[in-house]
Chain A
Amino acid sequence: MKLRQRNNISIDPKYILIVLIVVCTIFAIISFRFQDKMVPVRNAVSQVVMPMQKAINSIGVMINDRIDYIDTMESLVKENKKLKSQISELSEENQLLERDKYELETFRQLYDLDEEYADYPKVAARVISSDGDNWYNSFVIDKGSDDGIKKNQNVLADGGLVGIVTEVNNSYSRVRSIIDDESNVSGTFLKTEDSCIVSGSLSGINNGSIKITNITTDEVIEDGDPVVTSQISDRYLPGILIGYSKNITKNSSNLTLSGELVPAVDFQSLDMVLVITELKDSDDLEDILK
């Protein structure tokens, strides 16, 4: 019975196809003419299909990620090799730098090159003549008041204190070095912060050292302890390295220590110096002293 029914309504697919084509052609023309009328149909279908697409799309994204993962893996292996060799290079370099850094740090501590010290405005000057014979006790530099040099400005070289400007002219000035017999600089031991007086002396010139006196401390001062200019000095800016102590011994009075100081600057080959164009602000002090 069922078989017969099916056979009865079965039509040759040819005719179905022809009808379909005709209907679709008409439909195509209609939908082309009235495109805006088709929007609800599109919306209805897309509302059914879109959620499915969205859900499945997440799987697609996942697959895509996986493919990307495999793709990038190869390049990552290559990159890894390259980076590893780079690491060994860099670690070697780093070791060198580490050593340099350690050195730098020790030097910094030693020299007390703090910001204040580094931030002083400086003018470079050339030593043009000297009136010493062996070492320059005082000398002339080629910068004067035209370049902003004033009396009592500090002079540096090689990171250490050279002396102080004592006489200024338009185009040149005279500098008295700390090894000059007249020179007295109040200093401080960096390690123990004990004050002392560094004074130039002719007697020590041949040994390459100057005198250091009036050390008031109970602590042991070893050879090579750095001495810098003191805060209490009225002409010298604080924290400038003067030199290193040597042969510190107790005085006969047992109250103070004294000894020798090796200047940080090599005065025999002094060529270029730096003049700090900032004066120590000691006007108040001078007022009090008056």
Chain B
Amino acid sequence: MSAIDCVAAARSNDRPTAVDYITRIFGDSFIELHGDRRFADDKAVIGGIAELNGMPVTVIGLEKGRNLKERMERNFGSAHPEGYRKALRLMKQAEKFHRPVICFVDTSGAYCGIGAEERGQGQAIAENLMEMMTLKTPILSILIGEGGSGGALALAVADEVWMLENAIYSVISPEGCASILWKDASKTAEASECLKLTSQDLFKLGVIERIIREPKTVDSIMFDSLKNLIAQTFEKIGAADTETLLERRYSRFRKF
């Protein structure tokens, strides 16, 4: 698949969103928790507690919505600062109760608008980057669709980062890149190639640990195997003492 096809697949409306992953992997065990305790409840971020093979876990997702109505409600998965603060609140809660954290990332980017700037979008993301680096519990982030720049990274400072085969992860959208580089937003295909945003590229660059193969049609086999993989990984990561865990997380990002 070419890079631009990958971009289209990553953005496709037919693609499972964070809610699908949560439902299919955690079933009825998921209890949603709301709000950042400071300003509002940002619906672009869904979070709560669930059970993974009997183990309590904190689950956080950037949610785009599955139909037009939901997409409007969810602001198309573009979070405001309160969304990132809600995510951080739930991560701190996970740390307190020694639960691992799993993040499903799917966003074209942090929202850019007046309110987002007024309430400190940059500060909110920066705080997540800092705090996640030393959160004393295992973190796993899975890019399931679009990984748009800082807005995606704010949920992806993790011990391992995985990507769905056709997901993308980039510092800038191909459209934005093309319009800066060639003053022509239509040259997205070229820009997509240049940015090295596919799961294959990112694996080669060492930015992700694992690529999750996507079947032609999404089936329960994919979710079941993903569930097992997540459980095994938490067992593996969680075996290290906290100091080792944090040292490894620091080194993971220090190498770039």
Q: Do A and B come from one complex?
A: no
Binding site for B on A (CB under 8 A): none
Binding site for A on B (CB under 8 A): none
